[in-house]
Amino acid sequence: MAFDGIVTAAAAYELKEKLLLGKIEKVYQPEPDELVFHIHTRNGNYRLYASAASDHARMHLITENPPNPPVPLAFCMLLRKHLQGGRITDIAQKGSERIIEITLETLDELGFTVNKRLIFEIMGKHSNIILVDLNTGKIMDSIKRVSIDVNRARQVLPGKLYEYPPEQDKIPFMEITPDQLSVISRDPKSYLGAIGGISPAAARLLAESDDPYQTLKEIRVTLASGSFRPTVYLKEDGTPGDFHVIPLGIHPEEKHFGSVSEMLDFYFVNKESSNRIKQKSLDLEKFLSGALSKLYLKRQRLGEDLIKAGNSDKYRLYGELLTANIHMVQPGAETVNVLNYYDGTQIDIPLDPKIPAAKNAQRYFKKYGKAKTALKEK
């Protein structure tokens, strides 16, 4: 997936064009890691979708409303309290990072103007959406709270000063110079390790270019002018394989879109649908496997019970002989030796020393009855 710094820059550019000075009218949280903002602008109404899910984090405009829970979640209630009615004063990317910041002007409880910033960190499993008070620089809350137990270097908790994610030892793609680029080995892995904000596909594009710096310069011009080419690259089976806002040429079949949001919406909706079907099939397979294992175990135990039931006459005999010889059983005895009047032999009968002889006899008759029923119902 290529939600790199280049795509982030394109998304921020497009969102700023459409949403700047817009007013947040409604806030929803369809899932624990998803948000939807209804924004009114001079040019119409928009729905801004943002996800901090580890496998499909992104931010773009959507046309359909996702279903919402009957009771709003806590973070949604906080955003409604502080952002509903607020006006968007800026939308910008942080450097070359996968971070988009929306700055808002809102009113506090006393009617005074205050500034808040909603920060969207689109960083795989570390993705987050954080509300910051610009007057204090402190975190008001986040869609994912990160305690010291989870990350000792950077906590994301209410009341703590907001800090950007630690910078990697890379040169941002927007700042790298020809001299800096020239000393990097001409292979995708080297470019990926040295240049910040590019995806493996973009690194491969630079490595295959006759003039890597010229290619990088053209990418910068594209981002500055907004002349993107939003494209989803399809696999042979027609499912989305990758996406980008610059030509990559990695798959023979391409699907072009009129906006970055349309591209992202198509890619993730189709990707999630196939992943959801795969996950459902895995869940069903797991359920069926578990159910079969239980049934096989039950069948094995029933087989063992039937084998035991085949010897049910022994229990009847024990019960009859105990009843006839109760006077011979000593209190607390574990066995009793009695005459089997059917064949004239002596026989040892096991006993439960905790209960009287009469109850031991009743227990053997009960076992006999259950065994006969099992044989009858098999």
Cα angle 82, 85, 86; round to 5: 70
* Residue whose entry in the numeric block shows the structure tokens 């984090």: 57
Q: What residues does 328 pair with on adjacent strands?
A: none
* Residue whose entry in the numeric block shows the structure tokens 């209190």: 331
pLDDT at 304: 63
Average pLDDT over residues 74-85: 95
Tens digits of residue pLDDT in 145-169: 999 888 888 999 999 999 999 888 8
Contact (CB, 8 A) for 128 and 60: no
As a whole number of angstroms, the distance between CA 136 and CA 69 comes to 33
pLDDT at 286: 75
Kindly list the structural domains of the chain, giving each domain's residue range(s) and its CATH number in brackets, ordered by start.
Answer: 1-167 (2.30.310.10), 310-377 (no CATH)
pLDDT at 274: 47
Q: What region, left, alpha or beta, does residue 344 occupy, with left being phi > 0 and alpha being psi -120 to 50 degrees?
A: left
Q: What is the band of 375 on the pLDDT scale with cuts at 50, 70, 90?
A: low
As a whole number of angstroms, the distance between CA 59 and CA 119 comes to 11
Average pLDDT over residues 94-100: 95
Q: Inform me whether the pLDDT recorded for 277 exceeds 70.
A: no
Per DSSP, the residues of 346-377 read EEEEE--TTS-HHHHHHHHHHHHHHHHHHHHH
AA identity, residue 320: E
Contact (CB, 8 A) for 130 and 156: yes
Which backbone phi and psi does 327 adopt, to 5 degrees?
Answer: -65, -15
Q: How is residue 260 written in tokens?
A: 């970055």
Handedness of CA 53, 56, 59, 60 (dihedral sign): negative
**Other beta carbons less than 10 A from residue 324's beta carbon:** 13
Q: What pTM was estimated for this model as a whole?
A: 0.72
